């Protein structure tokens, strides 16, 4: 038996949630779905393995790129826990989309978690989350999941969401480099979608960019930014939905 985390965490929020869930696991390997140079088709699991698949919710859906890379992995009946991480608005169809993708490549879904982390673009929403209370709650969820595994209970949980999934929105927030860019190339190297020209990091392919904000997160000069007017408008549009503290959920 092995324990493995499969993550897509461009700005670190999903990784923090996964760390809280797996805090008491034996040492676990991590598969990074944001790494464009990994041959995911070579990854194979066994029925006794325990796997956490965690990714953020982008507008109420799972990131298409992450799902595509997950689809190359062979689950072979391994026990699977899903975690959808969202910025305090709503995760909508993210979990059922992840469930369908996990089952399509052979995982046995035994539990699912929705968790809140600081919004990757509008940082005023869910600022500082997951916080201590979140982490304690997520660790408690992990304990209940462990108890289910110990009982040999592999029943699939009832996971909220809709099929067909909601329609995906367009990508409008594409980060661009300002005058402080030194063209170090780190953003191009770490872009999950390979949307940034490695020869000229100031150039971003807007059609390829998935607005994951990895380039903004890793830039040592803080030179990459999204349009401030568009961010302000988007923040105002979701203010009501994000005003109250959303709680993490466990589905067993």
Chain segment 207-219, per-residue pLDDT in tens:
999 999 999 999 9
Residue 167 DSSP one-character state: P
All structural domains of the chain, each given as residue ranges with its CATH number in brackets, are 3-164 (3.40.50.360), 176-238 (3.30.70.20)
| Alpha-carbon separation of residue 95 from 53, 91, 188 (angstroms) | 11, 7, 29
Burial of 123 per CB tally in 10 Å (0-12, 13-18, 19+)? middle
pLDDT attached to residue 170: 64
Contact at 8 Å (CB) between 83 and 18?
Answer: yes
pLDDT attached to residue 164: 97
Handedness of CA 35, 40, 43, 44 (dihedral sign): positive
Model pTM score: 0.96
Strand bridging mode 50-56 / 79-86: parallel
pLDDT tens, position by position, 172-193: 789 999 999 999 999 999 999 9
Compare 114 and 171 and report the one with higher pLDDT.
114
pLDDT attached to residue 95: 98
Q: Give the mean pLDDT of 110-136.
A: 97
Judged against a pLDDT cut of 80, whether residue 171 lies above it is answered with no
């Amino acid at each position: 038996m092995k324990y493995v985390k499969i993550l897509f965490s461009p700005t670190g929020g999903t990784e923090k949630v996964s760390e809280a869930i797996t805090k008491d696991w034996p040492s676990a390997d991590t598969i990074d779905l944001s790494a464009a140079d990994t041959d995911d088709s070579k990854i194979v699991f066994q029925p006794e393995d325990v796997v956490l698949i965690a990714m953020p919710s982008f507008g109420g859906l799972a990131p298409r790129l992450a799902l595509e890379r997950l689809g190359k992995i062979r689950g072979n009946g391994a026990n699977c826990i899903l975690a959808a991480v969202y910025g305090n608005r709503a995760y909508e169809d993210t979990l059922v989309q992840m469930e369908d993708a996990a089952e399509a490549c052979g995982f046995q879904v035994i539990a699912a978690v929705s968790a809140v982390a600081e919004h990757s673009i509008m940082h005023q929403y869910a600022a500082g989350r997951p916080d201590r209370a979140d982490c304690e709650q997520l660790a408690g969820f992990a304990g209940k999941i462990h108890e289910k595994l110990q009982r040999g209970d592999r029943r699939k949980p009832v996971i909220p969401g809709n099929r067909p999934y909601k329609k995906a929105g367009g990508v409008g927030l594409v980060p661009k480099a300002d005058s402080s860019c030194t063209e170090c190339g780190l953003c191009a190297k770490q872009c999950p979608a390979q949307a940034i020209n490695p020869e000229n990091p100031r150039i971003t392919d807007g059609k390829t960019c998935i607005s994951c904000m990895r380039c903004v997160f890793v830039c040592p000069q803080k030179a990459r930014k999204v349009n401030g007017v568009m961010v302000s408008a988007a923040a105002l549009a979701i203010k009501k939905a994000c005003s109250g503290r959303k709680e993490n959920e466990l589905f067993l």
